[in-house]
């Protein structure tokens, strides 16, 4: 039913007219932004905000409706409880009680003969309805195209008003649903959408077997924002304008990072950070990670976090479902073993055929495990075989015994190779935990790894298939290329740790691996491993919400 003149909308938060524009353009985009609270910038959204700078400023009041003199008011804020709408209109021009709403748009008018696209016409009509609520006559709106420097007048007729009210009612109903509408299929609208990498339209339709054509590449393929690692003990991180500055105990500057180029702040051991810096990072949703000096994740702050509670509700319910938990656990372990086998086959000096056959068999057994205890046993057997041949992938100088490797040890690691593996796994767990929180998941409740205080169980689940591809691979590369030398370690008690310089060099190697582009085995395009983690977490969330029948595995060949 459409809203009539005397039909008040149910009480609740007012919907910005901009969201009505988004709903008209794409209902899924509206749901992601308005219901799930997702947003991301691209060059078009940044350019659009720049186009409004001329009219942005302190909000101005409208004169009384009976004002006879011509006027122009900028940044006019209006709202209506009856319509359930709010708006900030760029310019309102008026005279003798008649007003015109002017909305600034980047670019040029449509070239297909239309005065304007429907979302822009609906937006102007909504402005007109809000102005009429204030007692003004508003019979037309104006779109001002900045690039073309052209005004286009849009009549506000009864047909447009009816269409706008109908779309408003549909948007209200859509906002009550927890499930997002299906993505558009092959639509050119997706190309310039800033939420393309969040929506994943082609990927979702492909996995639902509703699209057989090519999958458009994610843009950007690599995230230009990078982490800032602070490992100097006693260092302090402070905020100065748009930069983070790192200083030592004596106040000497060690490093700096522009906030707009920062993806996360990672602090090892005894490092201080100011409350002003933490607050600014939280406002920008830039995570702050605290790790022990040995690399164990001990804290993670990223502001208020993702507001889509429905994802976590589904995660909690399904984690209590033994059958569902086992189904997902099988998938995690199966993919991990398969990727371990691939790494061994590609990098071992003399690939052990018997071990490769046994790992293939364990992949199949993992997919049919009757319970978590059996699955744990299968994973343990696979790890024994894999790490039993791990040394065959090392290319350290023959005269160096520093990188001799016999078996996987931890807490504490007993040799340099295990020290590197432990640090690499800790870094990977941190990155997966951040990606999981970024899409609305709870990284501490897993399906294979059981909940334990302080352990990011879901991050450990989701990182299983990436252990060999990212963590093990960077360890092998760091040793085989001499990035971390044999003398870069120190024995402490029963364990081995990295010296400060070797740690910094290894962190750089890890970052290079995360920025390296890889072909996604399901979608066929190339993106960085850092983007892969985000994409996989988003797809996992879509699976939990029921949008995808299965979690798509990331398995290299």
Residue-wise pLDDT for 307-360, tens only, equals 778 899 999 999 999 999 999 999 999 999 999 999 999 988 888 899 999 999
- Does 105 share its domain with 147? yes
Look at residue 42 in the predicted model and tell me its pLDDT: 59
| Structure-token pair, residue 205 | 């339709």
For residue 534, give the H/E element and its range.
helix 529-544
- Does 54 share its domain with 132? yes
- Does 287 share its domain with 333? no
Residue 51 in this model has a pLDDT that exceeds 80: no
- Does 277 share its domain with 425? no
| Structure-token pair, residue 176 | 């009550």
Quickly tell me which residue has 């995690």 as its tokens.
332
Look at residue 153 in the predicted model and tell me its pLDDT: 92
Domain boundary among 260, 281, 301: 301
**Structural domain contains residue 382:** yes
- Average pLDDT value for residue range 143-152: 88
**Do residues 312 and 441 touch, judged by C-beta distance below 8 A?**
yes
Query: Quick count: other Cβ atoms within 10 Å of Cβ 224?
Result: 9
- Does 173 share its domain with 283? no
- Does 144 share its domain with 99? yes
Residue 477 CB burial class (10 angstroms; 0-12, 13-18, ≥19): middle
Look at residue 43 in the predicted model and tell me its pLDDT: 64
Look at residue 9 in the predicted model and tell me its pLDDT: 40
What CATH code is carried by the domain that includes residue 97? 3.90.320.10
- Does 124 share its domain with 158? yes
Q: What is the SS3 assignment for 261?
A: helix
Domain boundary among 264, 281, 301: 301
DSSP one-letter code for 372 = H
Residue 59 in this model has a pLDDT that exceeds 80: no
- Does 438 share its domain with 321? yes
- Does 177 share its domain with 43? yes
Residue-wise pLDDT for 401-440, tens only, equals 566 666 676 777 888 888 899 999 999 999 999 999 999 9
Residue-wise pLDDT for 235-246, tens only, equals 999 999 899 999
**Structural domain contains residue 250:** yes
**Do residues 542 and 204 touch, judged by C-beta distance below 8 A?**
yes
- Does 152 share its domain with 286? no
Look at residue 403 in the predicted model and tell me its pLDDT: 65
Which range (132-146, 147-161, 476-490, 510-524) has the least confidence? Answer: 476-490
**Structural domain contains residue 1:** no
**Structural domain contains residue 10:** no
Please, which pLDDT band fits residue 96 given cuts at 50, 70 and 90? confident
Structural domain boundaries, residue 254: 231-301
Residue 52 in this model has a pLDDT that exceeds 60: no
> How many domains is the chain built from?
3
Residue 57 in this model has a pLDDT that exceeds 80: no
Residue-wise pLDDT for 277-298, tens only, equals 999 999 888 899 998 887 788 8
- Average pLDDT value for residue range 203-213: 82
**Do residues 29 and 18 touch, judged by C-beta distance below 8 A?**
no
- Does 321 share its domain with 410? yes
Look at residue 433 in the predicted model and tell me its pLDDT: 93
- Does 268 share its domain with 408? no
What CATH code is carried by the domain that includes residue 494? 1.20.120.920
**Structural domain contains residue 32:** yes
**Structural domain contains residue 328:** yes
Query: Quick count: other Cβ atoms within 10 Å of Cβ 108?
Result: 12
What CATH code is carried by the domain that includes residue 293? 3.100.10.20
**Structural domain contains residue 157:** yes
Which range (9-18, 345-354, 522-531) has the least confidence? Answer: 9-18
Look at residue 13 in the predicted model and tell me its pLDDT: 81
**Structural domain contains residue 99:** yes
For residue 29, give the H/E element and its range.
helix 27-30
Record the pTM: 0.85
Look at residue 272 in the predicted model and tell me its pLDDT: 92
Look at residue 8 in the predicted model and tell me its pLDDT: 39
Domain boundary among 186, 216, 242: 186
Q: Which residue has the higher pLDDT, 135 or 5?
A: 135
**Do residues 169 and 150 touch, judged by C-beta distance below 8 A?**
no
């Amino acid at each position: 039913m459409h809203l009539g003149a005397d039909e008040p909308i149910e009480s609740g938060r007012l919907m910005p007219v901009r969201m009505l524009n988004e709903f008209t353009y794409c209902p899924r985009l509206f749901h992601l932004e308005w219901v799930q609270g997702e947003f991301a910038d691209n060059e078009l959204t940044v350019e659009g905000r720049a186009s409004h700078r001329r009219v942005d400023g302190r909000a101005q009041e409208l004169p009384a409706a009976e004002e006879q003199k011509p006027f122009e008011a900028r940044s006019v804020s209006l709202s209506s409880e009856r319509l359930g709408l709010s708006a900030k209109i760029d310019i309102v021009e008026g005279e003798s009680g008649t007003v015109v709403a002017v909305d600034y748009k980047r670019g040029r008018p449509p070239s297909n003969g239309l005065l304007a696209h429907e979302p822009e016409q609906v937006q102007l009509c909504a402005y007109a309805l809000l102005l009429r609520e204030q007692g003004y006559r508003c019979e037309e709106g104006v779109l001002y195209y900045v690039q073309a420097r052209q005004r286009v007048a849009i009549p506000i007729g009864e047909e447009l008003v009816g269409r706008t009210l109908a779309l408003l009612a549909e948007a209200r109903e859509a906002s009550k649903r927890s499930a997002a509408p299906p993505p558009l299929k092959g639509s050119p609208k997706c190309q310039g959408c800033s939420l393309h990498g969040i929506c994943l339209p082609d990927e979702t339709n492909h996995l639902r077997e509703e699209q057989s054509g090519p999958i458009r590449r994610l843009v950007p393929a690599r995230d230009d924002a990078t982490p800032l690692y602070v490992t100097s003990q006693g260092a302090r991180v402070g905020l100065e304008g748009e930069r983070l500055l790192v200083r030592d105990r004596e106040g000497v500057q060690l490093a700096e990072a522009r906030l707009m180029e920062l993806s996360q702040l990672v602090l090892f051991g005894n490092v201080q950070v100011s409350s002003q810096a933490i607050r600014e990072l939280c406002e920008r949703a830039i995570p702050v990670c605290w790790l022990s000096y040995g690399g164990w994740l001990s804290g993670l702050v990223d502001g208020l976090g993702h507001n889509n509670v429905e994802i976590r509700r589904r995660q909690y319910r399904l984690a209590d479902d033994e059958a569902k938990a086992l189904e997902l656990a099988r998938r995690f372990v199966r993919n991990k073993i398969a990727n371990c086998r691939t790494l061994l086959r590609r990098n071992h000096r003399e690939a052990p055929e018997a071990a490769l056959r046994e790992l293939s068999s364990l992949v199949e057994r993992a997919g049919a495990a009757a319970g978590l205890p059996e699955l744990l046993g299968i994973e343990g057997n696979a790890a024994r075989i894999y790490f039993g041949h791990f040394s065959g992938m090392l290319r350290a100088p023959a005269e160096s015994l520093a990188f001799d490797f016999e078996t996987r040890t931890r807490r504490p690691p007993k040799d340099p190779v295990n020290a590197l593996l432990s640090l690499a796994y800790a870094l990977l767990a941190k990155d997966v935990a951040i990606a999981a929180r970024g899409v609305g998941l709870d990284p501490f409740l897993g399906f294979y790894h059981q909940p334990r205080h302080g352990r990011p169980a879901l991050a450990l689940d989701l990182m299983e298939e990436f252990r060999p591809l990212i963590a093990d691979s960077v360890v092998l590369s760091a040793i085989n290329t001499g990035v971390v030398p044999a003398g870069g370690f120190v024995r402490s008690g029963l364990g081995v740790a990295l010296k400060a310089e070797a740690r910094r060099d290894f962190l750089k190697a890890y970052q290079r691996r995360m920025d390296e582009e890889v072909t996604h085995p399901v979608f066929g395009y190339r993106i960085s491993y850092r983007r892969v983690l985000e994409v996989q977490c988003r797809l996992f969330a879509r699976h939990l919400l029921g949008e995808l029948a299965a979690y798509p595995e990331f398995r290299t060949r």
